[in-house]
Structure 1
């Protein structure tokens, strides 16, 4: 059988190529023309495994299948181990949260117990579907128990709080009973406590208002009456009406004795108006009048109309405004103001001041040097500059009003 290959000539070293010549035959060298015997050239041996040495292919595929199956078993086994460890970790966390909640419950800190159970519910939501419902139901039962105990504790604590705080607590819990079935059965208790607290608070405010009247504190008495009426607004009419009638009677009597209203300022005006004088004078007069026992009008009060119809005291104002003379070297005119004030009772004067005179100062503190120089070189009459001159004169006038009120110290409202 012919074999291919090559070998070197033993005489000259030339490479001889074999083409179908068997070992032992003679071959002539092309270079040195020597006849050379063809040596035996061993073939490359192909190794066969025991699987390929005459074995069918399905055997190899079987082994490969077994290897793949083994790999899958390892993968799924690992996943199972990880799931078990995750479940164990969640259970440990749940146990810790429940223990925390139970400890808080024993200590009477029910809100903290509810918070711990909510954390446990969030942890339980990570359990596998087949385990989740039972654990969630157990935790929800604990949560409901803690929520109800927390509500009961709040009710007990509210009984020791101020009326305002207690009412706020009862109202908040009452709103929760409408949303949370856990608090079912507490609504009646809360309504009863809420109504009783409101009634007691309104009655206490009325009693305190009567004491304030005796002590000569009319403004405090009216504040208490206003709060009493507001507190009683949500009570049953049979309870509300007598309380409101008492408050109205106290306030009406105070206004009859001490009520004072500001009349609309009258007179001649240039840059001012009646309303601007009311706005400027009331903050100055109000504290002095209240300090001496008068009740000034409260426009936002539900009793505002009583001042208009029943207040015995009136504070009236006569105003005269003029513009005369130029300010320094400018064409803008000075403001000259005059004010007379009078307090009367049922038409008879009991105190008066004025006329108080004021005019623009030669040197205006609020006017910067730059602004003053700018207007000083302007040969035209400037409305905005005359407003600055007017405001300075009015500020001087208000200072004189405050000084004149010193003579008001001995004037107090008459009481029966």
Structure 2
């Protein structure tokens, strides 16, 4: 027997409906915020992620699925969505559209080679949004509020929003030097990754999982102490907008997003539900004012976030949230005898083409077993057709909730069920 690759999963009926539901809620919410869908390839040129995500990140250094195609080109299965969306924004000249900012959302599988664990797969699904073309701090607050609104609309209550600012270029340069000076005496005590980060991107030392308990982490310089007046004012405006719409948050000066392109606003949404697990992050995002230029486009501000559907479903389970899934049928057609089979098939198809959910037996089951199948499918009505019904040009329709039965002409079946509703 051939098994699926490690770190992947089959999403079977019974679970797939949950995925469909949360994805549709996300789509509907994005449309209310006037975001439009964008779809990008599952694989891209490797250079896109090296430049767009950052060659000092764990994603690029350790986690990408990269291969060489027959044309000797290096390609990579996308590990995240932002770089691809920005590449599409630049390549298709969306910056020239008369609709600005460009507000986009996406939904699709991503791939990272890491140790599989609960809620963290090698193939996982991200829902995300990107708003490109505005430097207004109000859109930062809009992006954050959309994320919070999404989780709350699904019924989650144990949410914790953590925000920080990574400052502007001048703020980061001053903070960078302070971090280098601070960690240099402890260099040999840090992991190999952090020793490299100290040279290339010292802010990412603060994001290290291996060295997080090192005493030097607790006393590291805070970015909030190195903000320029402009960067401080920007962050204060973002928090003021969040306050205005009642979004609660906690400021954490140690919050550092794991990708190189972030600046100014950064945020994560976590689950505080008991039993959720040690990795509490549900989603994260932030502003990336230099990414479009890095990928060959004009100076363009951007902000976005991404969330894992797998971790979302874990959070719903941890809080015992039951999604209102619609899995019942409008009608189940029971055929008695071979002569009625063709008409049963025709009626079933007519119901479907008229917008009703319908099914029938395809295993030649006995009448009792067909009624049991109707029960399993939670059919509102059972339509029975046998030789007598064929002769009379009618079917017997049973309302399953009341047990009421009526004889209805073939051409009245659809209108009868719709009127009964």
TM over 0.5: no
Query: Highest Rg: 1 or 2?
Result: 1
| Higher relative contact order, structure no. (Cα contacts within 8 Å, ≥ 6 residues apart) | 2
Task: Using structure 2 for the length normalisation, give the TM-score.
Answer: 0.17
Relative to its length, the structure with more helix (as a share) is: 1
